[in-house]
Amino acid sequence: MNKKIVLEDLGRRDYKEVWDYQESLFKTVLDLKIKNRREETNLPTPNHFLFVEHPHVYTLGKSGDISNLLISEEQLKAKEATFYKINRGGDITYHGPGQVVGYPILDLENFFTDIHKYLRLLEETIIHTMAEYGLKAERSPGETGVWLDVGTPFARKICAMGVRASRWVTMHGFAFNVNADLGYFDNIVPCGIKEKAVTSLNVELGKAKVDEKEVKQKLLKHFSALFEAEFI
């Protein structure tokens, strides 16, 4: 089992460009798995982890409801935002500057074959990272992602998640609001969940800006510990 993960930080990139790149990595891993089974070989499958920041974009998952996008095409253009229907799970979400987005393209057969566990460990990575900033983040029953003050009128989401998996290979991932412009969330019903707020790490810490490089280092530390993996 190959527990090494190739890490790439892509900087700020267009959503569609990175989606296409994810698809190419995803296909490479899948094709190798199919070849191994057909030819009864055992070539190690690669794992990848992409960090990226997107320009303003809204994405709608396979099970999403387009009515959760609350603005027109003209208004999207005015806000310099784009919109895509995509092939992950989940409903609508927003990506934009100040958000740390992580896309693990893993062959889970290198780690464990359990999608539920995979999602819970992604959440745990964020929860442990936020604990380093003195914040108690948690899960909300029945709602994938990471939240604060669950079960109170002040519940708010700080990290959205949506993944796709085929033959135990994953793509898409998490979007962690670190220095995000929360005004852009007013244009959607985030993840299809009404009457619940969103927040960002800088808001919770009362800071103008949080060091995103430091946040990424903490995320990688906790991800590698939880998945017993090594980044290369």
Phi-psi map region of 39: left, alpha, beta (phi>0 left; psi -120 to 50 alpha)? alpha
Residues 6+ apart with CB under 8 A from 199: 148, 156, 157, 158, 177, 182
Binding residues for substrate: 88-95, 160-162, 173-175
Q: Environment class of residue 118 by beta-carbon count within 10 Å: exposed (0-12), middle (13-18) or buried (19+)?
A: buried
Among residues 100, 180, 191, 201, the one annotated as catalytic is 191
**Is 159 considered catalytic here?**
no
Encoded tokens for 205:
């810490």
CA–CA separation, 86 vs 203, rounded Å? 29
- Interior angle at CA 229, CA 225 and CA 232, nearest 5: 120
How many alpha carbons fall within 13 Å on the CB side of residue 204? 26
Per-residue burial over 143-171, b if 16 or more Cβ lie within 10 Å, else e, is bbbbbbebeeeebbbbbbbbbbbeebbbb
Binding residues: 88-95, 160-162, 173-175
3-state secondary structure of 43: coil
Residues 6+ apart with CB under 8 A from 76: 58, 82, 83
Other CB atoms within a 10 A radius of the CB of residue 229 amount to: 20
Active-site amino acid positions: 191
